Chains A and B, each alone.
Chain A
Amino acid sequence: MMKTSAEVNLLLLLLVFTLHVKGMRYSPPGKPALTRCRSPEKETFTCWWESGSDGGLPTTHALFYRKENSEAVYECPDYRTAGENSCFFNKNNTSIWVSYNITVVASNALGSTFSDPVDIDVVYIVKPNHPEMVTVTVLEDKGWPFLRVSWEPPHKADTRSGWITLIYELRVKLEEENDWEMHLAGQQKMFNIFSLRSGGTYLVQVRCKPDHGFWSEWSSTSYIKVPDYIQREKPMWVLITCFCAFIFLILTWLLHMNGHSLKDFILPPVPGPKIRGFDKQLLKNGKSDEIFSSLVVSGFPPTTSPNCEDLLVEYLEVYVPEEQELMEESKDLHDICLKSEGCTSDSDSGRGSCDSHTLLMDKFREAKEEKRQRDQEKSRTGTEDQRQQKDWEEEGLTYAYEDMVSPNISSGRVKTWPSLFSPLPQYSSSRHNQKSSLEKAKKHCFSDSLFPPGSTSFSLDQGGQTTMEAIRSSNREFSLRIKQPHLLHSHTQARCQLQAHSEVNISSIGCKQALGGLRSPAPHSAEYVEVQRVNEENTVLLQPVESGHGHIDGCSQLPLGKDYSRVQGVDRYNRLLLKGEVPQEGDCLYDYQDMTGDRTENCYTSSSVPSIQKPTACIHTVIMGHDEMVLAENGYIDTLTARTLPNY
């Protein structure tokens, strides 16, 4: 017997030695360890362990447990149900609210190793299974979809009897995302998820936990696809609408900014009336007097001649026709004269002879209307001589007209014009009875434009008047024409028209006194001569018109300066050429008497043409007679149609 045991021992030692000699190390198994113990429903539980090194030898494991307050050691009843290295405790072996002391033993040929014991209480190791029957459905709430997730507790967990109370948790995420959205559901078994993405696919999972325990695993993933509740076309239309609204807002803002300029572009404002120099405030004030006064421009009508040169009349043509011609053409002349008396307007605009003549006439008429009437009366009563004398005494020109010339001038006065502007040959009209020996004379008439009407001292009251005797029986008529190259408007109408009777009967009138005065030469600045009348001898009685002040009393003044009282000749155009000469001593005046009378010529000058020397009488310009022939106060001379005077 002892031999067998000794042999066994020797054999064992030999085996160990052999194994050792072979180089293999054998050792008892390593220490196993309980990893975990779990109970799914608080009725059973399972423990798992892991083994240590096996030591090169086949090892076995065993689980032993002890219950609380009991010394009995029990071994695991079930090693298989739960798999490898596990121990399953069924319901009969499970006690709740009892502490278990579990130990695993690993043993091999060389030994066994105990693991560390673990105390567990089943209540605290409950880890249920995941919820079951997870269903996800899409429901609608007022047109908006939502997910409804419902599940069931794990079938093993008895929640109906209240043995286990589970709380649930679910998680949701979109298919293409990575983050889960957690939701704690409590003890309820249903949950709603809102704010879904249209057309998206969602993943849902649920898990549970007992009030004191471990979370279960996540349930299997449930896929759900949300239908397209937002149409795909809508975002595009919404985008287009927003874009158009944005552009519309910008346009409105631009229009608001540039509204005024745009409005002016489309609807240009109507220009208001503008009168230069006119203050609109006057209209607003409403006072008509101020308005009208402001409308009156002081510069209109122009009363001053801006340029004297423009108004220059080159020459005055005095045509003294021959006796025959006068007789023949008397009527024609008359017609022409009448015509000329009419409105013969020249080419100058607005400056027709009529206009200014009219103005002048009007102005002068007012002043001399009375005088004319008086003269007419006087002429009717007395002889022409007497009348002439009176006229001479009076202011203004005296005219001798034949009745046939114009009815207005029935007194026989010859209508003369103040020759202030026209150097007319001066005639000693008084006391000259002219035969029909009128010479062609040319005289130059200067228009009154040389002398501004206002400034000129030209007045019909000037002295040095050569009055013409009334034509007694002369039927001659002649007309003087003053050629005026320029005529200003309302100006400078120097119309010398002298209507002579066929019987030129020029008699000197009333200048005897003046003749006396002529002897004493006085400085005379007479640049113009007025034709008073033509006597029968075709002599033109001219009378210089003094530029200065003329007065009846001062009639004795001799005209100063050059006097164009001499007719130099008549050119081929039937123009009377006047010759201006300084009055000298010794100049005599011709007394032109009637044609019937002898003509005494005294002091015949160099001119072959009997010069007509104007008497030194003051010029009195009287405008009377025909309306058209009325001169203005300042002595405008109207144009006359002249006939060529026969050369002498």
Chain B
Amino acid sequence: MSANIRKVWVEVVCVLLCSSLSGVCSAPLCMNGQNGCHILSLSDLFDRVIQHSARMHGISNDLHSEFEQYFLPSKNQIGRVSRNCHTSTILTPNGKENAQRMARQELTEVILKLLLAWRDPLWHFHQSMAHHPDFNKFSSNKALEMSDMAHELRKGVEKVAEKMQMLGIISNSVSSLASPEAPLPANGHKWRLMKDYDLLYCFRRDSNKVQNYLKILKCRIVPEHGC
């Protein structure tokens, strides 16, 4: 009898502790105005994100060039024209006017969507690169790095969005995309049919889009430096 009571009592204590701890862990460590905590400004966040996206685009460009050396695309022009990236369903502005005409929130959402859409395909691309006999290790590492950077970039953009929401620049509708379990678009699995080369081609374009959109956002929101 005493042993059972003891067990129950220990469990209760543990639950209480865990709840308290979880509450502490979930809370952000650095609040606004807290001493000893350096708060990044939105401009700095944007700069970080832009640099990140630039690096990601560079890697994708390098991989694409390597692919063109080893695997010349077929002269089937029709096939190339009909290449269709799985992210084509995402409406993205194709011109400067269109991009400037789009609202910041939409633009931010587009960025996030793009980054989200490429999360799984990049991972699989890396997997296929690693097992492909024609590619060396450097290319496989680049694919892995590209995948990680896409992931990190998305996180960063989410941070920027939160910052902007906090600053009142954008509304709170963006947060809906932040959940990791966002439902994929209908053609989300289209990418499985893509070849590796087409996948690289599409990703190179999308990374460029992301970088460009981020720059537009930055120069629109915080135009102090480099605009």
Contact = CB atoms under 8 A, between A and B. Distances in A.
Task: Determine which residue in B77, B84, B96, B99 has the highest number of CB atoms from chain A within 10 A of its CB, and name it.
Answer: B96
Contacts of A332: none
Interface stretch (A155-163, A315-323, A520-528): A155-163
A258 interface: no
B36 interface: no
Interface string A147-170: 000000000001111110100000
A309 interface: no
Contact of A43 (B96, B217, B220): B96
A69 B227 contact: no
B100 A161 contact: yes
A66 B81 contact: yes
Nearest to A95: B94
Contacts of A162: 212, 215-220, 227
Task: Determine which residue in A96, A117, A158 has the highest number of CB atoms from chain B within 10 A of its CB, and name it.
Answer: A96
Interface string A104-130: 000000000000010101010000000
Contacts of A165: 215, 226
Interface string B72-105: 0000010011111000100010111101100000
A162 B212 CA distance: 7
A223 to B, nearest CB: 31
Nearest to A123: B208
A97 B208 contact: yes
A20 interface: no
Contacts of B149: none
B61 interface: yes
A97 B96 contact: no
A211 B212 CA distance: 11
Task: Determine which residue in A68, A160, A162 has the highest number of CB atoms from chain B within 10 A of its CB, and name it.
Answer: A162
A91 interface: yes
Nearest to A100: B81
A101 interface: yes
A interface bracket (residues with beta carbon within 8 Å of B):
20 to 34
B80 A119 contact: yes
B95 to A, nearest CB: 6
B interface bracket (residues with beta carbon within 8 Å of A):
20 to 34
A68 B202 CA distance: 12
Task: Determine which residue in B97, B100, B208 has the highest number of CB atoms from chain A within 10 A of its CB, and name it.
Answer: B208
A42 B94 CA distance: 11
Task: Determine which residue in A68, A95, A160 has the highest number of CB atoms from chain B within 10 A of its CB, and name it.
Answer: A68
Task: Determine which residue in B94, B209, B216 has the highest number of CB atoms from chain A within 10 A of its CB, and name it.
Answer: B94
A159 B227 contact: yes
B54 interface: yes
Nearest to A158: B96
A101 B81 contact: yes
A168 to B, nearest CB: 13
Contacts of B216: 161-163
Contacts of A94: 95
A95 B209 CA distance: 13
A99 B205 CA distance: 10
A605 to B, nearest CB: 159
Contacts of A211: 54
Given A159-B227, A162-B219, A121 B81 contact: no
A596 interface: no
A123 B220 CA distance: 21
A161 B212 CA distance: 10
Contacts of B94: 95-98
Given A161-B216, A162-B220, A119 B77 contact: yes
A261 B57 CA distance: 85
A117 B227 contact: no
A212 B208 contact: yes
A212 B219 CA distance: 19
Interface string A469-509: 00000000000000000000000000000000000000000
B81 A43 contact: no
Contacts of B96: 42-43, 96, 158, 161, 163
B215 to A, nearest CB: 4
A386 interface: no
Task: Determine which residue in A97, A160, A211 has the highest number of CB atoms from chain B within 10 A of its CB, and name it.
Answer: A97
Interface string A600-638: 000000000000000000000000000000000000000
Q: Is the interface of B mostly helix, strand, loop or mixed?
A: helix
Contact of B84 (A69, A119, A212): A69
Interface string B112-136: 0000000000000000000000000
Nearest to A68: B81
A97 B88 CA distance: 11
Contacts of A163: 96, 99-100, 212, 215-216
B81 A97 contact: no
Given A91-B95, A98-B94, A161-B220, A69 B88 contact: yes
A305 interface: no
A95 B205 CA distance: 13
A584 interface: no
A69 B81 contact: yes
Interface in B42-61: 54, 57, 61
B212 to A, nearest CB: 7
Contacts of B57: 212
A121 B84 CA distance: 14
A69 B92 contact: no
Interface string A193-206: 00000000000000
A187 B94 CA distance: 25
A171 to B, nearest CB: 24
A95 B61 CA distance: 20
A160 B227 contact: yes
Contacts of A96: 94-96
B134 to A, nearest CB: 24
Interface string A84-97: 00000001001111
Contacts of A43: 95-96
Interface in B167-215: 205, 208-209, 212, 215
Nearest to A188: B226
Contacts of B208: 97, 123, 212
A70 B74 CA distance: 19
Contacts of A158: 96
Contacts of A212: 57, 61, 208
Interface string A173-191: 0000000000000010000
Interface string A8-49: 000000000000000000000000000000000011000000
Interface in B148-163: none
Contacts of B61: 212
A163 B95 CA distance: 9
Task: Determine which residue in B81, B84, B218 has the highest number of CB atoms from chain A within 10 A of its CB, and name it.
Answer: B81
Interface string A55-76: 0000000000010110000000
27 contacts: A42-B96, A43-B95, A69-B81, A69-B84, A69-B88, A91-B97, A96-B94, A96-B96, A97-B92, A97-B205, A97-B208, A97-B209, A99-B81, A101-B77, A119-B81, A123-B208, A159-B227, A160-B227, A161-B96, A161-B216, A161-B219, A162-B217, A162-B219, A162-B220, A163-B212, A165-B215, A211-B54
The 4 A-B residue pairs with the shortest CB-CB distance in the complex, in nearest-first order: A162-B219, A162-B215, A95-B94, A163-B96
Given A42-B96, A97-B205, 19 more contacts: A69-B82, A94-B95, A95-B94, A96-B94, A97-B92, A99-B81, A119-B77, A119-B80, A123-B208, A161-B96, A161-B216, A161-B219, A162-B212, A162-B218, A163-B96, A165-B215, A165-B226, A211-B54, A212-B208
